[in-house]
Amino acid sequence: MTEQPEALRLANKLEGAGTFTGCHIEAAAELRRLHMENEDLKNACKIYNDALKEEKALNAQLLEALETCGEDEWYTDDDYGMVQTYDEDKVRTAIAAAKEKV
């Protein structure tokens, strides 16, 4: 069983105190509101962190593709002269993944 969040526990304690004053009711309502706001913020952080993980993975893929472009392997092409080699499939795949995110 999950333990009740402290803000809700305190709100319930305030409401169950037996002597209700405007202050008790307002404090309990504020604790519940703050609890809900906190839950919303935690959910937003999770969404942000998930998106950040996806972006980091995409950046790693792009970096790996770019690194193949910097290798010191050259060949002579009849039409273009000296051409540097790279892993064309890796580069195209990385570019396609990046375009999907735009």
Domain segments of the chain as ranges: 6-101
Whole-angstrom CA distances from 98 to 51, 85, 88 are: 14, 22, 15
Q: How far apart are CA 5 and CA 35, in angstroms?
A: 8
Task: For residue 21, give both structure tokens.
Answer: 């004053």
pLDDT at 18 over 90: no
Q: What percent of the chain lies above the pLDDT cut of 70?
A: 88
State how far Cα 48 lies from the chain centre. Answer: 3
Look at 3 and 44; give whichever has higher pLDDT. Answer: 44
Q: How far apart are CA 82 and CA 65, in angstroms?
A: 21
**Which spans in the chain are helix H?**
6-15, 22-69, 88-101
